[in-house]
Amino acid sequence: MCAIISSVEKRTAASIRARVRAEMIDEIKEAARRQLATEGANLSLRAIARELGVVSSALYRYFANRDQLLTALIIDAYNAIGAAGESADAAVTERLDLTGRWMAVARGWRDWALAHPAEYALIHGSPVPGYAAPADTVAPANRRVLVVAAILRDGVQSGVLTRARTAPELPPIPAPLNAELKAVSAGLGADADTGLTARAMIAVIEVFGALNFEMFGQLNNTIDERGAWFDLQARAMASFIGLPEG
Amino acid sequence: MCAIISSVEKRTAASIRARVRAEMIDEIKEAARRQLATEGANLSLRAIARELGVVSSALYRYFANRDQLLTALIIDAYNAIGAAGESADAAVTERLDLTGRWMAVARGWRDWALAHPAEYALIHGSPVPGYAAPADTVAPANRRVLVVAAILRDGVQSGVLTRARTAPELPPIPAPLNAELKAVSAGLGADADTGLTARAMIAVIEVFGALNFEMFGQLNNTIDERGAWFDLQARAMASFIGLPEG
DNA sequence: TGTACATCAGTGAACGCGCGTTCACTGATGTAC
DNA sequence: TGTACATCAGTGAACGCGCGTTCACTGATGTAC
């Protein structure tokens, strides 16, 4: 905190070293991501080292072990798909066009998934055996959902999304579940009643279910019009949530 | 067809051999399933053989290679979850209680998934790298969806599920997608218009999305009331489809 | 019923390969005075 | 500016282990006559 930098030379030397180090970390992760695509989540450190033209033990300068590299990839993937949703949302100029924003987010997620299938599988597919996700993955994972919470909040606070408008009634919600939904809404800052929260969560789950079906091959020989099918689903979910049309 | 059996002795001898063989195949698959749970889809034939107290090359009497064993497990899993849905449906005596049947099917799937998490992951998780599912998996995979198609058919043909009743309007469906949905409905014998077909598919996708979230750990630290949450989702989807209340 | 032959399950050795991780080390680069 | 020391990246050998698949084989069981 104090004595951050004592001279320009020191700062330059130190930061060069840091930059080179960061670049090496990126190269390792990129090689690992390339491997994910062909080999799945069973990363081989030796193969990564080989690809980088380096001896396998050299990687231990950058990651304590295989699991730590895997964790880094998972965090990156959550952040990347989260950022894809966020920037798609941000590109919608009419901020009160809630359906438009929701559609943008959903398509942003899908575009990212199509562009990065292996990383998508890493975070939405089967858990890696013997790997327990550490706590650092929680915040990045939440980014996917925070964008949706922001849409709800903007809708509620502007009055565009009124209780009356949120037409489709849900079945009665038992008290303990209701309390949990309330906590979710509060935690995300959605400012939504539990019915709206539940409907939005269902919509998000449907959209990721749709992506799983598409990415994991369950649509093969059934639906080829994948973009149209995805749009139809996302749009149906917008009205299921109760978002007003744009 | 002709000369099936020429004497009682022959039949007994041959069928004993066949039965012993079938039992061995079952034991191999069971050991493999146990391994799935701890190691994921990266089956080790040597470990399976070890567990059975047999030399690893002995397994090649029963499966041509590792992929063929994996295929057998996948087919079994599809059949098992399909059967779980079918028998849950069959247990509902009031056949025109469409919502009751839908809920039974959804819960039947979930119960099976909770009891067989590794097999669930095998069919709904990330594709196994380097493994291409052969055509024999298609029919078993369809069993999951055929039950739902039967519910729709029973509803439409009995008049319980009328077009007017299927309230929630979907966004307009582009023609090419509409044609594909028609083909899906026809292929499954659902006897449903494309709107109903699309809503039912969306509901199924939501339910499997919900199962993926639950099975793959995305509900951790968020929702503990998992049974209630699943029921709420499935019930919401029943009314999304337009099924009349029981 | 008895004999000759065919089928089949399982063995054990081998081929050729992979892996994560540790450890003592070299040599370059950066830091402090 | 120059020297002594510390930091750090990367090496190369080793440990101890794993794997799928092939192949020639033994021996038991079943079949045909």
Mean pLDDT of B196-213: 98
Give the closest residue to A147 by CA, choosing from A120, A113, A107, A118: A107
Q: How far apart are the C-alpha atoms of A28 and A33, rounded to whole Å?
A: 9
Round the average pLDDT of chain A to a whole number and report it.
92
* Residue A163 binned pLDDT confidence (cut-offs 50, 70, 90): low
Which residues in chain B are closer than 8 Å to A212, comparing Cβ atoms?
A: 124, 208-209, 212
Q: Give kind and range of the element (H or E) at residue B78.
A: helix B66-90
In this predicted structure, the answer to whether residue A146 has a pLDDT above a threshold of 70 is: yes
* Residue B163 binned pLDDT confidence (cut-offs 50, 70, 90): low
Mean pLDDT of B117-139: 93
Under a CB-based contact definition with an 8 Å cutoff, are residues B81 and B109 in contact?
yes
Mean pLDDT of A47-60: 97
Which of A 6-65 have CB under 7 A of nucleic chain D? 17, 21, 24, 54-58, 61
Work out the number of other CB atoms within 10 angstroms of the CB of residue A211: 23
Q: How far apart are the C-alpha atoms of A141 and B213, rounded to whole Å?
A: 12
Under a CB-based contact definition with an 8 Å cutoff, are residues A85 and A108 in contact?
yes
User: CA of A56 to nearest chain B CA: how many angstroms apart?
Assistant: 23
Q: How far apart are the C-alpha atoms of B241 and B76, rounded to whole Å?
A: 29
Instruction: Give the amino acid at B201.
Output: M
In this predicted structure, the answer to whether residue B2 has a pLDDT above a threshold of 70 is: no
Q: Give kind and range of the element (H or E) at residue A47.
A: helix A45-52
Beta-carbon-side half-sphere exposure of residue B83 (alpha carbons within 13 Å): 6
User: CA of B59 to nearest chain A CA: how many angstroms apart?
Assistant: 24
pLDDT digits (tens, 9 = 90+) for A221-246: 999 999 999 999 999 999 999 999 87
Q: Residue B15: what pLDDT?
A: 76
Q: Residue B156: what pLDDT?
A: 95
| B174 contact A CB<8A | yes
Mean pLDDT of B78-101: 98
Q: Residue B17: what pLDDT?
A: 84
Q: How far apart are the C-alpha atoms of A129 and B39, rounded to whole Å?
A: 5
* Residue A168 binned pLDDT confidence (cut-offs 50, 70, 90): low
Under a CB-based contact definition with an 8 Å cutoff, are residues A216 and B126 in contact?
yes
pLDDT digits (tens, 9 = 90+) for A123-143: 999 988 888 889 999 999 999
Q: Cite the DSSP H helix spans in A53-174.
A: 66-90, 98-115, 117-124, 138-158
Q: What is the pTM of this model?
A: 0.94
Q: Residue B147: what pLDDT?
A: 98
Give the closest residue to B196 by CA, choosing from B229, B224, B170, B157: B170
Structure token digits, residue B169: 């309007």
Kindly list the protein residues whose beta carbon lies within 7 Å of any strand C atom: A 6, 9-10, 13-14, 16-17, 43-47, 56-57, 60, 65-67; B 17, 21, 24, 54-58, 61
Q: Residue A183: what pLDDT?
A: 97
Q: Which of B184, B222, B236 sits opposite A202 (nearest CB)?
A: B236
* Residue B130 binned pLDDT confidence (cut-offs 50, 70, 90): confident
Mean pLDDT of A54-70: 97
Mean pLDDT of A21-40: 96
Structure token digits, residue B128: 């196994």
Percent of chain B with pLDDT over 90: 84
In this predicted structure, the answer to whether residue B10 has a pLDDT above a threshold of 70 is: no
Under a CB-based contact definition with an 8 Å cutoff, are residues B66 and B45 in contact?
yes
Q: Residue B8: what pLDDT?
A: 46
Give the closest residue to A99 by CA, choosing from A202, A200, A206: A200
Q: Residue A14: what pLDDT?
A: 72
Q: Residue A5: what pLDDT?
A: 35
| Nucleotides of strand C under 7 angstroms from a protein beta carbon | 8-14, 18-24, 29-32
Report the nucleotide nearest the CA of residue B18, measured to C1'.
Answer: C8
